[in-house]
Structure 1
Amino acid sequence: MEVGIIIAGFIIGILVVLFLVLVHEFGHFLLAKLAKAYVYEFAVGFGPRLFTFKGKETWYSIRLIPLGGYVWIASDKSEPPKGREDLADTIPDERKMDYAKRWKKAFFIISGPVVNFLLAAFIITTTLMASMYKPDDMSFYGQRFSNDSVALKMIQTVDSEYKSEDQTYAITEWNYKLGIYEHSANTDLYDVNQAKAKDYETIVYNFKNEFDLVDWNTLTIEDINEIELSISFKPIDKVSGAFIGTTNEEITVSLKDNPILKEEFIKKITNDKKVSIGITAPYRYFKNTTEAYGYGWKETANQSISLIKGIGQLFTGNFDALSGPVGMANQTANVLDSPTEFFLYFGGISANLFMLNMLPIPPLDGYKFLENAVEAAIRRDLNKKYKYIAYSIGAILFIGIFVLITIKDLIM
C-alpha cells in the first residue's frame, strides 16, 4: 500500500475518532443542559486553549491536543477551569453535579455511550438502505472469487461469462491431493433438506485452512506436479441463499481435465510457495429497504459485541482483533475507495465506542454508572482513597493495552 494512502488513512481515521468522541461528549453535554446543571466548558481537545467562544454561561473552546474532548460541570469536588474561578462561589448547589439526584446522574453518565450507539445505528442503517448490500459478509451464503484466481478460472471453463463478483455459485464439494497431503469434503457442506448453502465461513474456512497447513517449502517439484484439485459448485440465488434446481445438479471441475490451468497453478505455487484458491466472502444483498433497515440494527449490535470478543481474545494472547492508531490508519486506507465500506467502518467504530464506554472498568462510563448505582444503594459516597486507587489502576491498564496494541500494529 502506498505511503500517501496510509498517511491519508491515518489523518482521516483520527478525524473520524475525534468526531465520534465529540459526539459522545455532546451526549453528556446535552443531558447536563437538560438537567439544568452548570456547564463551565465544552472543550474540543486537551491542553492549552487555542480558541474560546464565550457563551452566556458555557465557554466553547478548542484546545491544543486534538485527541478527544470533555464537558466541565460545576462541582465542589473539583476546581473550576482557568478564567472562571470567580464563579465557583456564585453557583447554587442545585446546579452542581454533586447535588443532583442519583437517577439524573445515571442518565448523564450513559448519555454519551447511548448517543454513540444511536449514531452507529443511523450510519449503518442509512448506508445499507442506500447501497442495498453489505460487503464481505462472512455469515451470508455463497462466495465471490478473486480476479485471476484458480477457483474463478475453474468455473469459467464451464461458464465463460461468469464474473468474479457474480456470486451465483456455492461450493458443495471439494477434493485435493498434493504429494502426501490429501483431503476432501462433500455434501455435509450444505443442508440437502432445506436446499440452502451454509454461510461462507462454514463452507470455505476449513478448505482454506487445509491448504494453509501444507508446508509448501518442504515440497519437491514432483510433489507439486502431483496436485489434483476438483471443486463442485451449484447455482445459488444470491439474495435467498437457496440452491437453484435440485440438490443433485452440481458442476464438478477438475484440474486433471485442464492441463493448461493446472500448469499455471503449479507455476504459481512453485514461485509463491503458497496456494491461493481465490475464494472471498460474499456480499449480502437485500430484497428491499425495510430488510436493509432491520439488518442495520442487527449489524450495529454485532459491531458492538465484536469489541467484547476482541477484548476476550486478549486473555488468550491474541491481539489481532483490536487495533490502535496504526492499525486504524491501515483499515481506513483500505476502505477509502468504497463509500459503502467507509461508512460501515465509520458506524462500526461508533458502535465499538459505545460498548467500550459501557464496560464496568474505571475510568469508563460503565464503571461510573456502576459506582453511582452502588452509592445509591448504600446511600453514601464510596471512600475517596478507594476511588483514587481504582481509577489509577484502570488508567494504567488502558495505557498498557494501548501500548501493546500499537506495538502489534507496527511489527505485523
Structure 2
Amino acid sequence: MSVLAAIAVLAVLIIVHELGHFAAARAQGIHVNRFSIGFGPALWKYQGERTEYAVRVFPLGGFVGFPDDDPDSPIPPDDPNLLQNRPIVDRAIVISAGVIANFLFAYVLLTAQVGIFGVPNLYPGVAVPQLAEVADSPARAAGLEPGDVILAVGAEPLAEGEAAVETLQQAIQRSPNLPLELTVLRDGERLNPVVTPRADEEGNGRIGVFLSVRGESVDGELAFRRPNGIGEIIAAGAAEYQRIFQLTFEGFGRLIGNFSESADQIAGPVAIVAVGANIASNDAGGLFRFAALISINLGIINILPLPVLDGGQLVFLGIEALRGKPLPSKIREGIMQTGVVMLLGLAIFLVIRDTANLGAVQEMFNN
C-alpha cells in the first residue's frame, strides 16, 4: 500500500502540472483537444464537448494536446484561438502555468500538513541525538555527548526548528580546521566546548554528529500541538515552503556547478517511489512534505531551458520575440527530437540504475 501511495503522489503532481497548462489555455479561450494522464495505450477515454480526456497505461507522465498539431482537426489553421496564433504573452502563460501550478500546490500541501497534523512544540537550540561511529571525530575530541543540546555557536544563539539546524550546519561547514566555541546544555549545566571541524573531500567542515530539532517529545517522537488559528497555519506553511524551496534551489545549483561529483544524486521515478513508500509507511504527515518537495523539484526541472521541457518552449518563444518570427520548423523539430532522445535515454538509465539499487533486487541477486 505504501508503494501505491507513493505512485499516487507522483500521479497527482503530474495531474496538477497538466491541469495548470489546461486551465491557463481554457481561461484564455484557447482550443485544447486532449488532456491525458500517462503515456502509451489508453485505458480509459471520454470525449467531452471540446476535449478528449484519457488515462493511459504508464502513469508517470501526461500531456495537454492542442489541435495545432493535429492534421485531422476540423479547426481551420487561421483560427485566432489556436495556440500558435495567439500572442507570445498568451502562449508563455500557457507554457509556464504547469510550473506555477506545481509551486502553488506545494504550498497548499505544506499548509494542509500543518492544519491536519499540527505544529511541533519546539524549543531554541539543536539536539545531538547521537555521535557518528568515528573514534577520533572532532565532536568526541571536544567532549560532546549524545543528549547534548547546542544553544549557540560562537556568539550567535540558535533559534528553533529546522532553521536552527541549518544555521549550525552552515557554521560547521564554513569552518574547516577553524575552532568553534559552542554553548552546550547538558543535564541543566551550560558548557563551552571548542570543536575544530575537519575538512571533508569537498573542503566542507565536519565534526561527526547527528543533529535534530529540539522540541517536546512523546515516546521518542516529536510532539505536535494544534495551531493557533489560520494565521499560524499560513505562516508555518510559508516558512516550510521557503525552506524547502531554498534547499532545493541550492541543490540544483550544486548539481549544475559540480555535475561530475553530484550526478549520482540524481534520482529517477523508481528511487522516488522507493523513498516515498518508506515515508508513507512510517509517517503520514511526512508524505505531505515529500509530495511538496517533489512538486517543487518538478516545477524547477520543467522550467530548465532544455528541449521538450517547458523551459525549452519558453526559450523558443524568446527567440521568436527577438527574431520577430518563429524558428524554421525543421530546426525546431530537430532540436525537439534530440531532446526527446536524450530525455528518454536518461529516464531509461535512471530506471535501470535505481531498480538495481533497490534493496530487494540486490538481496535477490546476492542469494
Same fold (TM over 0.5): yes
- Check if 1:389 corresponds to 2:320: no
- Check if 1:143 corresponds to 2:127: yes
Gap regions ≥5 residues in structure 1:
1-7, 152-174, 208-230, 237-243, 253-276
* Correspondence for 1:333 among 277, 293, 313: 277
| Superposed counterparts of 1:26-65, under 5 Å | 26-65=19-58
CA contact (8 A) 2:183 2:191 kept: yes
TM-score normalised to structure 2 length: 0.70
What do the CA deviations read for 1:139-190 (whole angstroms, capped 9, x no partner)? x941252xxx679xxxxxxxxxxxxxxxxxxxxxxx9659xxx94489x994
- Check if 1:234 corresponds to 2:185: yes
In the other structure, the counterpart of 1:79 is 70
Task: Return closer, same or farther for 1:184/1:52 CA change in 2, 3 Å cut-off.
Answer: same
Instruction: Tell me by how many angstroms 1:52 deviates.
Output: 2.1
CA contact (8 A) 1:44 1:61 kept: yes
| Superposed counterparts of 1:135-214, under 5 Å | 141-143=125-127, 145=129, 183-184=141-142, 190-196=152-158, 199-200=164-165
In the other structure, the counterpart of 2:86 is 100
The one-letter code matched in structure 1 to 2:18 is E
What do the CA deviations read for 1:329-360 (whole angstroms, capped 9, x no partner)? 32112211212211100111111111111111
Task: Return closer, same or farther for 1:397/1:48 CA change in 2, 3 Å cut-off.
Answer: closer
CA contact (8 A) 1:189 1:202 kept: no
Which secondary structure state, in structure 2, belongs to the residue aligned with residue 323 of structure 1? Answer: coil
By relative contact order (CA 8 Å, sep 6+), the higher-ranking structure is 1
Gap regions ≥5 residues in structure 2:
145-149, 173-181, 194-207, 216-223, 359-367
CA contact (8 A) 2:125 2:151 kept: no
Which secondary structure state, in structure 2, belongs to the residue aligned with residue 361 of structure 1? Answer: coil
Output the CA distance in 2 between the equivalents of 1:110 and 1:327.
Answer: 27
Output the CA distance in 1 between the equivalents of 2:164 and 2:54.
Answer: 50
In the other structure, the counterpart of 1:128 is 114
Instruction: Tell me by how many angstroms 1:10 deviates.
Output: 3.6
Which secondary structure state, in structure 2, belongs to the residue aligned with residue 20 of structure 1? Answer: helix
Task: Return closer, same or farther for 1:408/1:316 CA change in 2, 3 Å cut-off.
Answer: same
The one-letter code matched in structure 2 to 1:366 is G
CA contact (8 A) 2:126 2:211 kept: no
* Correspondence for 2:191 among 250, 265, 271: 250
Identical counterparts, % of pairs:
23
In the other structure, the counterpart of 2:63 is 70
In the other structure, the counterpart of 2:221 is none
- Check if 1:402 corresponds to 2:333: no
In the other structure, the counterpart of 1:364 is 309
CA contact (8 A) 2:307 2:335 kept: yes
Aligned residues: 310
The one-letter code matched in structure 2 to 1:281 is S
In the other structure, the counterpart of 2:197 is none
Output the CA distance in 2 between the equivalents of 1:50 and 1:312.
Answer: 38
- Check if 1:292 corresponds to 2:236: yes
In the other structure, the counterpart of 2:213 is 282
Aligned CA-pair RMSD? 4.0
TM-score normalised to structure 1 length: 0.63
Task: Return closer, same or farther for 1:352/1:326 CA change in 2, 3 Å cut-off.
Answer: same
Instruction: Tell me by how many angstroms 1:193 deviates.
Output: 3.3
What do the CA deviations read for 1:283-315 (whole angstroms, capped 9, x no partner)? 688996254133033135225415524642761
